């Protein structure tokens, strides 16, 4: 299917984690203990965050993923259903759900360790999963589940005309056959440097640069840049996910508009602690964009 002007249908194949978030004045050095200033448990995972971001930005979203049968699972599932993400393809597997140990410092910078849990068990796609991918306008994936599953999904989606968007994070080398099925890649500047030439085969590449905005490179080296709205940063966790989900939801508007929309979504997500809970709605994003846009001249003196 192709993305038209209607509300896009997005299938997100990816991880869902319980984020165990500690705040501290500064990140500890190796071997060092520092005192923390706070603790929170917040649903996260790059897949779930991007699904929520796309849904809040107005897309119809189906999530394909896995939770465990532990105490975190009901809250993780509810994080998706509460905002209207479809969970028919969210399976429950035996064992722990994914967790992420996150430390956020006083400047809002973070360090994250993810333990895959149920996400690592997402090794196969059944016919019902594949049907969701084939029906969608966009398949959105990241790399917190087995790469072979991402490759199978991307190939199947492509074969059915679904646009494949990959956020290759956490970054790692990928097989050329997977890159061949990617229409759009969303990377941060570190990932762009690490992936280098591999990205040159991707028709549309978006590189995010934190507070410095983002840039788009399309076919025939067409390019656009966008600035980020100026915000007070509390926590950058999930900002890239907010950007990516919003970008996918706005892709049908064209690269320039989608880029501006996503820049606003990413910036707004840094203003609150926690990943999924900080993701802005379409109304929040539109309001930020309206503030950024200089008023049109009336033509009167
Ligand atoms: O991108 C932020 C996310 O990375 C967190 O929510 C955490 O779960 C890890 O997946």
CATH number at residue 187: 3.40.1190.20
The residue contributing the CA closest to ligand 1 atom 9 is 45
| Residue 109 covered by a domain | no
Q: Residue 300's pLDDT band (boundaries 50, 70, 90)? A: very low
Q: Residue 241 catalytic?
A: yes
Tens-digit pLDDT profile for residues 211-220? 999 999 999 8
Ligand 1 nearest atom to the CA of residue 43, by list position: 6
Is residue 267 a part of any domain in this protein? yes
Query: Is 115 inside any structural domain?
Result: no
Under the banding of pLDDT at 50, 70 and 90, the label for residue 6 is: confident
Residues with CB under 6 A from ligand 1: 15, 17, 19, 44-46, 49, 100, 112, 114, 144, 237-238, 240-241, 275
- Write down the pLDDT at residue 129: 98
Torsion of CA 159, 144, 70, 133, to 10 degrees: -10
220 alpha carbon – ligand 1 mean position (Å): 34
CA-based nearest residue to 147, from 168, 132, 117, 129: 168
* Gap between the Cα atoms of 256 and 259, Å rounded: 5
Cα 166 to Cα 163: distance, rounded to the nearest angstrom: 10
Share of the chain above pLDDT 90, in %: 89
Residue 23 CA to residue 120 CA, distance in Å, equals 27
Check pLDDT > 80 for residue 55. Answer: yes
What per-residue string of b and e applies to 86-115 under the rule 16 or more CB within 10 Å gives b? bbebbeebeebbbbbebbbbeebebebebe
Q: Which residue has the tokens 């597997």?
A: 93
Compute φ and ψ for 23, nearest 5 degrees.
-110, 145
pLDDT of 297 > 90? The answer is no
Query: Which of 241, 242, 269 is the pocket-test mutation for ligand 1 (most atoms within 8 Å of CB)?
Result: 241
DSSP tag of 253: G
pLDDT at res. 292? 82
Shortest-distance atom of ligand 1 to CA 17: 8
Q: pLDDT band for 224, please (50, 70, 90 cuts).
A: very high
Q: Nearest CA to 266 among 192, 199, 167?
A: 167
Q: What is the pLDDT of residue 221?
A: 82
Mean pLDDT, the chain, integer: 94
pLDDT digits (tens, 9 = 90+) for 236-278: 999 999 999 999 999 999 999 999 999 999 999 999 998 889 9
Tell whether the model's pLDDT for residue 40 goes beyond 70. Answer: yes
Annotated catalytic residue: which of 19, 129, 235, 241? 241
Residue 113 lies in a domain: no
Ligand 1 pocket test: pick from 14, 16, 49, 50 the residue with the most ligand atoms within 8 Å of its Cβ: 49
Determine the atom of ligand 1 nearest the C-alpha atom of 18: 8
The verdict on residue 40 lying in a domain is: no
Q: How far is CA 178 from CA 103, 198, 201, 202, in A?
A: 32, 11, 11, 11
Ligand 1 mean position, distance from CA 13 (Å): 14
pLDDT digit string, tens, across residues 13-35? 999 999 999 999 999 999 999 99
**By the 8 A CB rule, do 216 and 224 touch?**
yes
Would you say residue 1 has pLDDT above 70?
A: no
Say how many Å lie between the CA of residue 150 and the centre of ligand 1: 18
Q: Which domain holds residue 270?
A: 9-15+46-97+121-292
Which H/E stretch holds residue 155? helix 147-159
Q: In what order do the strands lie in the sheet with 36-44?
A: 36-44, 17-24, 98-104, 110-115
Number of domains forming the structure of the chain: 1
- Polymer length of the chain: 301
Mean pLDDT across 53-65: 98
CA 299–ligand 1 middle distance (angstroms): 48
Residue 5 has pLDDT above 80, yes or no: no
Which residue, by CA, sits nearest to atom 6 of ligand 1? 44
Residue 294: pLDDT band with limits 50, 70, 90: low
9 DSSP β-pair partners: 60
296 pLDDT more than 90: no
- Report, as an integer, the average pLDDT of 227-231: 89
Residue 285 maps to a domain: yes
Residue 108 inside a domain? The answer is no
Question: Considering the domain boundaries, does residue 31 fall inside one?
Answer: no
- DSSP type of residue 272: S
Distance 300 CA to ligand 1 centre (A): 50
């Amino acid at each position: 299917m192709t993305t038209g002007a209607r509300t896009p249908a997005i299938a997100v194949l990816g991880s869902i984690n319980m984020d165990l978030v500690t705040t501290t004045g500064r990140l500890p050095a190796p071997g060092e203990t520092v005192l923390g200033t706070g603790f929170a448990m917040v649903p996260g995972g790059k897949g779930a965050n991007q699904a929520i971001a796309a849904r809040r930005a107005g897309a119809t979203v189906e999530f394909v993923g896995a939770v465990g049968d532990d105490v975190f699972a009901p809250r993780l599932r509810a994080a998706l259903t509460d905002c209207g993400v479809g969970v028919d393809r969210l399976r429950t597997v035996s064992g722990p759900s994914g967790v992420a140990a996150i430390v956020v410092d006083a400047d809002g910078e973070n360090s994250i360790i993810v333990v895959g849990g149920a996400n690592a068990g997402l090794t196969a796609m059944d016919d019902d999963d594949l049907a969701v991918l084939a029906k969608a306008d966009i398949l959105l994936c990241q790399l917190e589940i087995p790469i072979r599953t991402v490759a199978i999904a991307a190939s199947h989606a492509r074969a059915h005309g679904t646009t494949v968007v990959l956020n290759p994070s956490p970054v790692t080398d990928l097989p050329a056959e997977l890159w061949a099925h990617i229409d759009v890649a969303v990377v941060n500047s570190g990932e762009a440097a690490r992936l280098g030439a591999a990205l040159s085969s991707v028709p549309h590449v978006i590189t995010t640069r934190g507070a410095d905005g983002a840039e788009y490179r399309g076919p025939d080296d067409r390019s656009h840049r966008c600035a980020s709205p100026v915000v007070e940063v509390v926590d950058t966790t999930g900002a890239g996910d907010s950007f990516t989900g919003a970008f996918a939801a706005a892709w049908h508007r064209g690269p320039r508009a989608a880029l501006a929309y996503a820049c606003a979504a990413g910036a707004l997500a840094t203003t609150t602690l926690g990943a999924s809970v900080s993701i802005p709605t379409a109304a929040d994003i539109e309001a930020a964009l309206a503030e950024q846009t200089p008023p049109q001249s009336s033509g009167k003196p």
